[in-house]
Structure 1
Amino acid sequence: MAPAHPAGGSVCRECGAAYKATDLAQEFCRPACRIAWNNRARLRGAKLYEAVMTWRVLRQPGALAVVTALVSTFLDEDRAAGRRWRPRTFNPKTGRRERRK
């Protein structure tokens, strides 16, 4: 796996390719990678929403285990595809997500 920030550039969150970032908040090498990442995030978010609502509303035993199992599955899928999860921070002053340095 490539380093998080190669000399003078960045690594795409989706495909792992090194690229020259035009600004600090840029996370993807091309629009197709950004779209693929966001589509996957939306799908995963919908799955997690259902699991969390089931856990909170029905309070079924083991429902929280379903949430953690989903996250583990997501991480396993990402590792298998060569994607590395990196935290992002939200800057309330700019209203943008920014990478940690």
Structure 2
Amino acid sequence: MKSLLQGPPEKPAGGQGAGPGPLCPECLQPFSRAHPGQLFCSPAHRDAWNNRATVRGRVLTPLAIVTRATRGGSRGDIATGRQARRDHDRLVQRWIEEDRAAGRMDWPTYLRLRYRVGFDPLG
């Protein structure tokens, strides 16, 4: 199996060479897509991923905004900016380790898949 940093294995175009299929970001198991934009093997895994991302985002968003607005604590409210940067970095690292331990796809690979199926965060 390829490293997840290189991207999950995909079925070759045209159905040639029966590869393992795409990997579900939640369980890293291959599955057959019902439609071209399907990223998860089941609605339960999609919901688990999205619910976890929502909870994490609610915590991380204010920290990320303050970190950016204070340039990591070098402008404006320096003390708050530095604390926000530290908390942001610690949470992200904690979640990376949690996901790895739980056998989930890493976020760069997941976002690459989202972009590949037409995700536009600015649209």
Same fold (TM over 0.5): yes
Identity of aligned residues (%): 32
Between Structure 1 and Structure 2, which shows a larger proportion of helix residues? 2
Matched with 2:98 is 77
- Counterpart pick for 2:47 among 29, 35, 41: 35
Higher mean C-alpha deviation, range 17-26 or range 72-81 = 17-26
C-alpha distance after superposition, 1:47-72 (max 9, x if no partner): 10232244447442342122121111
Structure 1 runs not aligned, ≥5 long: none
Structure 1 residues 5 and 22: CA distance shift in structure 2, 3 A = farther
Number of aligned positions between the proteins: 94
3-state SS of 1:19 partner:
coil
3-state SS of 1:11 partner:
coil
Asked if structure 2 preserves the Cα contact closer than 8 Å seen for 1:25 and 1:97, the reply is no
Residue 26 (1) aligns with residue 30 (2): no
Matched with 2:14 is none
3-state SS of 2:90 partner:
helix
Runs of 4+ in 1 over 4 A off after TM superposition: none
Over the residues paired in the alignment, what is the CA RMSD in angstroms?
A: 2.6
Given the two structures, how large is their TM-score scaled by the length of structure 1?
Answer: 0.74
Between Structure 1 and Structure 2, which shows a larger proportion of strand residues? 1
| 1:36 maps to amino acid | A
Asked if structure 1 preserves the Cα contact closer than 8 Å seen for 2:20 and 2:30, the reply is no
C-alpha distance after superposition, 1:9-32 (max 9, x if no partner): 111011111101233321100100
Structure 2 runs not aligned, ≥5 long: 3-7, 11-18, 71-76
Higher mean C-alpha deviation, range 50-59 or range 64-73 = 50-59
